[in-house]
Amino acid sequence: MPTLLLNDGTRTPWIAFGTGTALYKKDAADAVTVAIQNGFTHLDGAQVYENENSLGAGVVASGKPRSELYITTKLAALEPGETPTSALKISLEKLGVDYVDLYLIHQANQHVGKLKEVWKGMEAAKAAGLTKSIGVSNFTADHLKDILEVATVVPAVNQVEAHPYVWKSLGPNLALHEKYKIVTSSYGGLSPIVRGKGGPLDTVIKEIRIRLEKTRGSPVSDGQVLNKWLQQKDVLVVTTSSKAERIREYLDTENVPELTPEEVTLIETTGAKLHKRYFVRPSA
């Protein structure tokens, strides 16, 4: 499994199995077990998904040792008197583990006026050994600037909706990510072909897929073209499926030949012709 180096010196598998969206507030145990048994080692959860118990059950059922897995969870809105550390301790109980590998603030707009305080709480959770790395999710560049004013630990990851139809609009984020070596993590990365068929990318992806199939000598899917593009952008991809065949296809992306520099640029410039967001835009 190829990995990405985080700015704290740890490494994360480049692709994660997500337990939100289709599994939101649902029992994720079987899906997680299938994902692990077919090769996923990075599992992406969240308190707000309300399925951390079943994520943990799926890990146990898979038989995979904790040491061979990378587990992410995300902080929800804090209850009165609650801290990122106390909230994480509850998550660890539900997950059935002693620590997570990555802990993210899920939404900046759940902590209006308190982002700096919450970030210091994330740093405390890391210092306590409850998480190896800390980061954020759905943060705009302004949100990042806010916490960077007080951060002694720079966020390792910012998980956002990322695909060619929003890539241009992510410019301010990407500039900060590059400056502080924050890894961009993508959810909804396949939206252009799953939710946005009929857009300008359709023809481009088809042409690149045909070229890749000729080079590889075996089938390549449209999804693999997009995931390969994200991988070559050093993006941490979060994706999901209930089908073992689809899961194997996602993981097989690493075996797909690389896109040429011209193809990488073509996907980006074609995607810039349409600005389309498929998930709720984070509030500034």
User: How far apart are the C-alpha atoms of 155 and 115, rounded to whole Å?
Assistant: 13
Q: Is 180 a catalytic residue?
A: no
Other C-beta atoms closer than 10 Å to the C-beta of 189 total 24
Does any domain span residue 266? no
The pLDDT score that the predictor gives to residue 62 is 97
- Can you give the pTM of this predicted structure? 0.96
| Cβ(270)–Cβ(201) below 8 Å | yes
Pick the catalytic residue from 24, 49, 103, 165.
Answer: 49
Section 11-36 average pLDDT: 95
Residue 31 CB contacts under 8 Å (≥ 6 apart), including other chains = 17, 19, 23, 58, 240, 242
Could you tell me what percent of the chain has a pLDDT over 90?
96
Give me the domain span that covers residue 247: 3-190+229-256
Residues 222-263 have pLDDT tens digits of 999 999 999 999 999 999 998 999 999 999 999 999 999 999
The pLDDT score that the predictor gives to residue 280 is 74
User: How far apart are the C-alpha atoms of 190 and 261, rounded to whole Å?
Assistant: 20
Does any domain span residue 45? yes
pLDDT at 271 over 90: yes
pLDDT at 284 over 60: no
- Tell me what percent of the chain is helix, strand and coil, each rounded to the nearest 5: 45, 15, 35
Query: In the structure encoding, which two tokens stand for residue 157, read together?
Result: 């990851």
Residues 174-202 have pLDDT tens digits of 999 999 999 999 999 999 999 999 999 99
Does any domain span residue 180? yes
Whether 111 has a binding-site annotation, put simply, is: no
Does any domain span residue 216? no
Does any domain span residue 204? no
Does any domain span residue 269? no
Query: In the structure encoding, which two tokens stand for residue 114, read together?
Result: 């308190």
Could you tell me what percent of the chain has a pLDDT over 70?
99
What is the tally of structural domains in the chain?
Answer: 1
Section 104-115 average pLDDT: 96
Residues 120-149 have pLDDT tens digits of 999 999 999 999 999 999 999 999 999 999
Q: Are strands 11-13 and 3-5 parallel, antiparallel or unpaired?
A: antiparallel
Other C-beta atoms closer than 10 Å to the C-beta of 146 total 16
User: How far apart are the C-alpha atoms of 23 and 20, rounded to whole Å?
Assistant: 5
Does any domain span residue 15? yes
Does any domain span residue 208? no
Q: What is the CATH number of the domain that holds 123?
A: 3.20.20.100
